[in-house]
Amino acid sequence: MADPESKEVEMYQEKEKAVAEADKTEAEAGKNQVEAEEEEEKGDRPVRVYADGIYDLFHFGHARSLEQAKKAFPNTFLLVGCCSDEVTHKYKGKTVMTETERYESLRHCKWVDEVIPNAPWVITKEFLDEHKIDYVAHDSLPYADASGAGNDVYEFVKAIGKFKETKRTEGISTSDLIMRIVKDYNQYVMRNLARGYTRKDLGVSYMKEKRLRVNMEFEKLYDKVKQQQEKVGKKLGLLHDEWVENADRWVAGFLEKFEEGCHQMGTVIKERIQESLLKGQPRGFSLLQYEDDE
């Protein structure tokens, strides 16, 4: 006969085992649910990429770098930081556009999802956490930080593996555009004086303005003379082309007329000779007739 107490213990153990298995099954189901939710969230959540700069005289070189940052991942949310005038003038120099103009230019770029004004010169962990930034995109050239020691502003993000390199577009940069303006400075000043800007608007001295205005008049006179020369040259060119095109026909026509004239002259001469011979010779005698008879 089985011991009632041992039987009760056995039943209790089986119950505990069943409960443990149920708990395990529930835990595994919960874990799978969390993992599925995480995967779903990871798949739906865009990668937050950050690009920063000054973006003065915003040009297609800037746009192409932002395009590369935007296309770094299949699903990207691009944040673009733009430094303020105060920070930029302190660490880089005078800008052509104001910070407001630069912010607005970025907002109108189709690759940009969000603009962060007054962006920091040096990126920190706190800044990355604040904006939930996954990667920082920029060209690989080192940029000096605010320490004055020549350290790279992207040294931190490069060290933690969150740096995405973009390529610069050759042949275009803000510095290049400014150099073009400086190179043709007089031309731009003259053009704007002609449009009605004053010398004070353009920061030009009185003597400089007068000299440029005289140059403008000489330029106009030169253009008129050049146009007249081109017109005369065009007419001469047309005459030359017409002669080349019709020379053979004209020469042939002249020779034809000359030959016809010679023939007519020969006929007249023959008639005159015949008349003279008839007058001086016996009636019925003709030299021409004699020649014909031969």
pLDDT over 90, % of the chain: 41
Whether residue 164 sits in one domain with residue 179? no
- Is 115 inside any structural domain? yes
Whether residue 177 sits in one domain with residue 95? no
Please write down the long-range contacts of 86-93, taking CB distance under 8 Å and 24 or more positions apart: 87/118, 87/120, 87/121, 88/54, 88/56, 91/121, 91/144, 91/146, 92/54
- Is 274 inside any structural domain? no
Whether residue 198 sits in one domain with residue 115? no
What's the burial of 203, exposed, middle or buried (CB within 10 Å: 0-12/13-18/19+)? exposed
Q: How far apart are CA 158 and CA 164, in angstroms?
A: 9
Whether residue 107 sits in one domain with residue 76? yes
Whether residue 155 sits in one domain with residue 58? yes
Write the pLDDT tens digit of every residue in 80-129. Answer: 999 999 999 998 899 999 999 999 999 999 999 999 999 999 999 999 99
Whether residue 177 sits in one domain with residue 162? no
Whether residue 161 sits in one domain with residue 201? no
- Other C-beta atoms closer than 10 Å to the C-beta of 89 total 13
- Is 37 inside any structural domain? no
E strand or H helix that includes residue 155 = helix 155-159
Whether residue 162 sits in one domain with residue 51? yes
Q: Is the C-alpha dihedral spanning 158, 122, 143, 56 positive or negative?
A: positive
Whether residue 140 sits in one domain with residue 229? no
Whether residue 194 sits in one domain with residue 137? no
The residue among 169, 189, 220 that closes a domain is 169
The residue among 147, 169, 191 that closes a domain is 169
Give the predicted TM-score (pTM) of the model: 0.59
* CATH number of the domain enclosing 163: 3.40.50.620
Q: How far apart are CA 284 and CA 294, in angstroms?
A: 17
| Residue 143: domain span | 47-169
More confident residue, 78 or 273: 78
pLDDT over 70, % of the chain: 65
The residue among 154, 169, 184 that closes a domain is 169
- Is 120 inside any structural domain? yes
- Is 270 inside any structural domain? no
What's the average model confidence in pLDDT over 181-205? 87
- Is 1 inside any structural domain? no
Whether residue 126 sits in one domain with residue 232? no
Collect all residues with Cβ–Cβ distance below 8 Å to 213 and sequence separation of at least 6: 193
Instruction: List alpha helices for 71-114, DSSP H.
Output: 85-91, 99-107
Q: How many domains does the chain have?
A: 2
More confident residue, 186 or 276: 186
Whether residue 70 sits in one domain with residue 100? yes
Collect all residues with Cβ–Cβ distance below 8 Å to 76 and sequence separation of at least 6: 46, 47, 48, 49, 69, 70
Write the pLDDT tens digit of every residue in 221-253. Answer: 778 877 877 777 666 666 666 666 666 666 666
- Is 103 inside any structural domain? yes
- Is 94 inside any structural domain? yes
